[in-house]
Amino acid sequence: MDYFDTREKKKYMSYEKILKLRKEMINNHIDGYIVPHNDNFFNESLPEANRRLEWLTSFDGSAGIALVLAEKAYIFVDGRYTIQAKQQIDSKIYEIVHLKDKNLYDILNSIENKTIIGIDSKIHSILNVEHLNLKIQNSNISIKQVKDNLIDLIWDDRPKLPYNEITIHNIEYSGEETKTKIETISKYIDSHTGDTLIITDCESISWLLNIRGSDLEFTPIPLSIVIINKYNNIQFFTNSKLNANIKKHLGNNIKIFKLNAFEEQLKSIGKRNEKVIVDNETCSYWIFKKLKEFGAKPIIKKNLCLKLKACKNKIEVNGMRKAHLRDAKSLIETLYWIKSHYPDGNLDEIEVSRKLFKSREKNKNFIGLSFPTIAGTGPNGAIVHYRPSKLNNREIKYGDLLLMDSGAQYFEGTTDVTRTIAIGEPDKEKKVKFTKVLKGHINLATVVFPYGTTGHQLDILARKFLWDDGLDYDHGTGHGVGSCLNVHEGPQSISKRSNNVILEEGMIISNEPGFYKEGEYGIRIENLILVKEKYIPNSNIKFLNFETLTLAPIDLSLIDIDLLEQKEIKWINEYHRNVYKQVSSSLSTKVAEWLKEETKEIS
């Protein structure tokens, strides 16, 4: 499989598609239709068959929502995707709206005529529908739940959903038996006076049952749903393939069903008038509605699996260290190859991406990439979630900055790393901006903070030096990372956006400040960091700090040493000593010599 043979976008087809959608809107007696980036499993990464927003608009970002009205259409994106949206979406058809300016509710509240807005409640969460009902203050607007998904009705060549082999995630990687995890969840159900809990978040299910799959391209999970009761019994719904070993692993307490049997089980739950715990962010409104319709009593509570899987155990933490050490070899070899070959010319973004993939592919316990590689040179580097394709592939030129954001899935863990490197001698402006980003990165990496602190409270540390110059970046500073699961994992984050989830020991999160000059270059420095307890003598307060897991050199040619304080220079030197110490023995002599030069002390 070639991960870099990207889909070519055909803007000219968007007009035909939206005409077909509007015809279906008329057939269903609605005046507008909302198309989110969701499917009924609420995974961030979607199988091709469920990329309805992308099929309709050509926008392939991992977050966004479209509103199609009879004569106008909008697509709403956040700061990660504003440039990308302009390139992929036909602006004659869709008005591209930055969420910091307006949102879906603002547009709906401004409509002056009676308007019925249709939704498919299977791909809208309970919380999402609650927000529609609460935030739309316009009496002209009514929300109608449409029986069939209108995109599916007009998508003639829609591919089939992939249902592949399920594999066991062995105890040597998970660090905790399935039985223990199930008992914890069952006690949680009982403690909230519930009878049953429904999980539609496939990552949580994979963590709970110690299984993995390949139904998604970059997240190793099977598409599935689980119903678990307070007596440790589970109903597992999936169309993915289960061999005898998997059935033995799951055991007698876990009954296996096809996905189409799920609604019938909801009826059974309803007949028993059970109290059912559901998470309002990851459970569809359709399930919530059906539970009530069948006689069950839904209880809204957070999915406990999210927090439990976010706090990695010792086995998982050690696995992440092994994955990062293995991954470092591939990234360093690729960085050496780029620096050695660019003077000869003829290097481009796709070639660099392929080279990195081919190196990772040879690594022990490699499963696949954790997301599509971002290799953006020059102006493409300013597109936060850029993905090179035949349409936009750019040759790497002297004077460029090359931003490489990439990661991999291993049995032991998941990696995500960004390095920005100079092609040739960088100018003063780029060095200053890079150093400001680096100072923010170091500021966050070295913070010591009391237990009870949230990522939201730490976000300013990474932005401070850019803010001093009136600059900023329009994305979060850090996201959680799974263990052989989603590279973007909650509930923790480091962001301007308020998040009351405190940082706890064992959580792994990214540290990735950046700066982007549209049309010219992008800068980002990303390491993964582990939350650990920090012992402070004579303190009665529990404190935490971060351990940096990522091992890759930071381009010294981009650092303006005059802007650094002594403690920052010390951090860079100590970090680079550790990179060389840990990785050099696995490299060829030539690459190890290059790494030694790239990690030399600065003063």
Per-residue pLDDT at 30 exceeds 80: yes
* 8 A C-beta contact, residue 59 and residue 89: yes
Neighbouring-strand partners of residue 168: 211
Tell whether 593 is covered by a domain: no
Q: Please report the pLDDT score of residue 373 as a whole number.
A: 96
Residue 341: exposure state from Cβ atoms within 10 A (0-12, 13-18, ≥19): middle
Q: Please report the pLDDT score of residue 84 as a whole number.
A: 87
Distances (CA, A) of 324 to 220, 336, 510, 530, 551: 18, 18, 13, 12, 7
| Measured distance CA(144)–CA(74) in Å, rounded | 19
Q: Which of 309, 338, 372 is the last residue of a domain?
A: 309
Do 147 and 270 fall into the same domain?
Answer: no
Across the range 134-148, mean pLDDT stands at 94
| Measured distance CA(286)–CA(363) in Å, rounded | 43
pLDDT averaged over every residue in the chain: 94
Tell whether 594 is covered by a domain: no
pLDDT tens readout for residues 521-536: 999 999 999 999 999 9
Q: Which of 126, 153, 180 is the last residue of a domain?
A: 153
Do 148 and 234 fall into the same domain?
Answer: no
The two tokens of residue 57 are: 């608009």
Q: Which helix (H) or strand (E) holds 436?
A: helix 428-445
Q: Which residues of 497-517 are buried (b: 16+ CB within 10 A; e: fewer)?
A: eebebbbeeebbbbbbbbbbb
If one counts the domains in the chain, the total is 3
Beta-sheet strand order (sheet of 408-410):
366-369, 408-410, 413-414
Beta-sheet strand order (sheet of 234-238):
254-257, 234-238, 224-229, 196-199, 275-278, 297-300
Do 443 and 478 fall into the same domain?
Answer: yes
* 8 A C-beta contact, residue 374 and residue 403: yes
Q: Which of 309, 337, 354 is the last residue of a domain?
A: 309
Do 455 and 490 fall into the same domain?
Answer: yes
Please list, in sequence order, all residues whose beta carbon lies within 8 angstroms of the beta carbon of residue 598, skipping any fewer than 6 positions away: 335, 553, 555, 556, 576
Q: Please report the pLDDT score of residue 85 as a whole number.
A: 86
pLDDT tens readout for residues 365-398: 999 999 999 999 999 999 998 989 888 899 999 9
Distances (CA, A) of 160 to 36, 47, 51, 60, 157: 20, 9, 12, 19, 9
Do 317 and 413 fall into the same domain?
Answer: yes
DSSP characters for 161-195? Answer: PP--B-EE--HHHH-S-HHHHHHHHHHHHHHTT-S
Running DSSP on this structure, what letter comes out for residue 125?
B
Domain assignment of residue 139, given as a range: 13-153
| Measured distance CA(107)–CA(86) in Å, rounded | 20
Per-residue pLDDT at 8 exceeds 70: no
Residue with tokens 């990329």: 51
Do 357 and 495 fall into the same domain?
Answer: yes
Q: Please report the pLDDT score of residue 345 as a whole number.
A: 67
Q: Please report the pLDDT score of residue 7 as a whole number.
A: 45
pLDDT tens readout for residues 64-102: 999 999 999 999 998 888 888 888 898 899 999 998 899
Across the range 551-571, mean pLDDT stands at 98
pLDDT tens readout for residues 189-244: 999 999 999 999 999 999 999 999 999 999 999 999 999 999 999 999 999 999 99
Per-residue pLDDT at 142 exceeds 90: yes
Tell whether 462 is covered by a domain: yes
| Measured distance CA(466)–CA(510) in Å, rounded | 19
Do 411 and 447 fall into the same domain?
Answer: yes
Q: Please report the pLDDT score of residue 10 as a whole number.
A: 53
| Measured distance CA(151)–CA(68) in Å, rounded | 12
pLDDT tens readout for residues 186-198: 999 999 999 999 9
Per-residue pLDDT at 248 exceeds 80: yes
Neighbouring-strand partners of residue 68: 33, 73
Closest by CA to 229, choosing from 186, 291, 289, is: 186
Q: For residue 128, which amino acid is it?
A: N
Q: Please report the pLDDT score of residue 133 as a whole number.
A: 92
Do 352 and 390 fall into the same domain?
Answer: yes
Tell whether 470 is covered by a domain: yes
| Measured distance CA(170)–CA(312) in Å, rounded | 15
Q: What percent of the chain has pLDDT over 70?
A: 98
Tell whether 1 is covered by a domain: no
| Of 50 and 62, more confident | 50
Per-residue pLDDT at 11 exceeds 60: no
Per-residue pLDDT at 477 exceeds 60: yes
Tell whether 453 is covered by a domain: yes
Residue 487: exposure state from Cβ atoms within 10 A (0-12, 13-18, ≥19): buried
Tell whether 579 is covered by a domain: no
Domain of 482, CATH number, reads 3.90.230.10
Do 239 and 321 fall into the same domain?
Answer: no
Q: How many CB atoms within 10 Å of residue 26?
A: 10
Do 184 and 143 fall into the same domain?
Answer: no
The two tokens of residue 118 are: 């249709």
Tell whether 547 is covered by a domain: yes
Q: Please report the pLDDT score of residue 6 as a whole number.
A: 44
Do 449 and 361 fall into the same domain?
Answer: yes
Do 115 and 68 fall into the same domain?
Answer: yes
Length of the chain: 603
Domain of 148, CATH number, reads 3.40.350.10
| Measured distance CA(474)–CA(418) in Å, rounded | 17
Closest by CA to 306, choosing from 208, 179, 240, is: 208
